Structure 1
């Protein structure tokens, strides 16, 4: 199993065990590029969150080895969503690790301090890791995320070292799920729906063009709908 796949599965196992999640859907993803499936879409439910969604895409001929986890909290919850995307692109490793805010941080300082401020030393240490460099993500797309997002390219050694950062982010997130966060004054379901519509929009994230090219429009939309709903 590759480094990205190993990290993703380990993270999913920890998350599932801690929250009592079980797989409710496991769908093979196919492509005209290969007679065999090129990936899978899994949905896990149970415990105190809404659901977790994983998308694995492995296509050696084009150097793609991508593993994404999104753990979505409930519609009425202010606890951030958790996400990890671990990738090998043929020439470099890449990672996207974040807690996605459920409220505007600039006007909810107590929420910011509880949910995100403890991540600061982890974020700073990650950027000091030898072999880690920023990924090419523009400010428009960053606006959907948090300032504590780790989105980077990495050498093999650096990617391995970032596993500790992933574990620490996940531990913090699980503690938030368990203990809760300060109340926020916003329409949580409406804000979440709007944010996720933008977060997974092809007009915002160019990765959907590549996913559609690989899987075809119908399967790509199936994956996107699962992430948005």
Structure 2
């Protein structure tokens, strides 16, 4: 989609979308104590060796949040941008992780999901508790003509999405932006309530849960088809560093 788009100044849209991630981040900062990981200190601002692509990637961790990524990259001349706010919980509770991604290609793209930490085929209590509340939102967007569901061609990416994952494109309008912002805040608020009410995971099960979380986080980062866009914008070496940073391959804390 990016390669087909004409040159377009999407600065205003970028600022709106980045503003939403910052609103969500404020709610995180009000609830959790996290510290910046030194491994990404040199990625707070980075740029392409050739061209005008720029980006910022910041990672954090804390007692309750194992890995938090808040990042953006953009190519101002073409209007392309991509940003992430992903929250990976520690193994002390089994609440799903929370992921947001927004982009302009040049139309609006968004992905929002509760990333499962249990087998939804057999853990029906987990399914009912964490995914039934999202079902009506999912079905509502599915029938909303303003939004077109985006289905990835990458097998693992489809596998990694829950069945209430919101992955759509739409025209950039005040109406569609308002819907995206409202749904994002609803998902964040619901997730925070889940975290506050979660039962602790037994100590003997935490190591296995932590190992599973890392496998999933790494696979999602490494198998993301959009990595090829980053490679064209920033080169293979920088892209490898960005991908490792997304899953915590170089983390220090």
Question: What is the CA-CA distance between 1:89 and the residue it aligns to?
Answer: 1.7
Distance 2:154 2:224 in 1: 11
Matched, 1:167 2:180: no
Aligned partner of 1:193 in structure 2 is: 214
Contact 2:151 2:158 in 1 (8 A): no
Q: 2:84 aligned with 1:63, yes or no?
A: no
Aligned length: 225
Alignment of 1:94-133 (within 5 A): 94-133=109-148
Q: Work out whether residues 86 and 96 of structure 1, in 8 Å CA contact, stay in contact via their aligned partners in 2.
A: yes
Q: Give the superposition deviation at 1:38.
A: 0.4
Bigger strand share: 1
Equivalent in 33, 37, 42 of residue 58 of structure 2: 42
Q: Does 1:30 align with 2:26?
A: no
Cα distance 1:89–1:145, how it changes in 2: closer, same or farther (>3 A)?
same
Among 149, 156, 173, the residue aligned to 1:134: 149
Which position in structure 2 is the counterpart of 1:89?
A: 105
Between 14-23 and 157-166, report the one with greater CA deviation: 14-23
Q: What secondary structure, in the 3-state scheme, does the structure 1 residue paired with 2:94 have? A: coil
Instruction: Please report how far the alpha carbon of residue 136 of structure 1 lies from its aligned counterpart in structure 2 after TM superposition.
Output: 3.5
Check if 1:213 corresponds to 2:232.
yes
Q: CA deviation at 1:75?
A: 3.8
| RMSD (Å), alpha carbons | 2.4
Q: Distance in 2 between matches of 1:77 and 1:48?
A: 9
* Residue pair 1:83, 1:97 contacting (<8 A) in 2 also: yes
Q: What TM-score do you get using the length of structure 1 for normalisation?
A: 0.87
The whole-number CA distance in structure 2 between the counterparts of 1:174 and 1:220 is 32
**1:143-162 residue CA offsets vs partner (Å, 9 max, x unmatched):** 11211110010122313322
- Contact persistence 1:20–1:46 (CA under 8 A): yes
TM-score by length of 2: 0.79
Aligned partner of 2:159 among 131, 139, 143: 143
* Deviations 1:88-115 (CA, angstroms, capped at 9, x unpaired): 122x000000011111111111111112
Of stretches 216-225 and 141-150 in structure 1, the one that deviates more from structure 2 is: 216-225
Q: Relative to 1, partners in 2 of residues 1:159 and 1:9: Cα closer, same or farther, differing over 3 Å?
A: same
Describe the SS at the equivalent of 1:143.
Answer: helix
User: Greater Rg, structure 1 or structure 2?
Assistant: 2
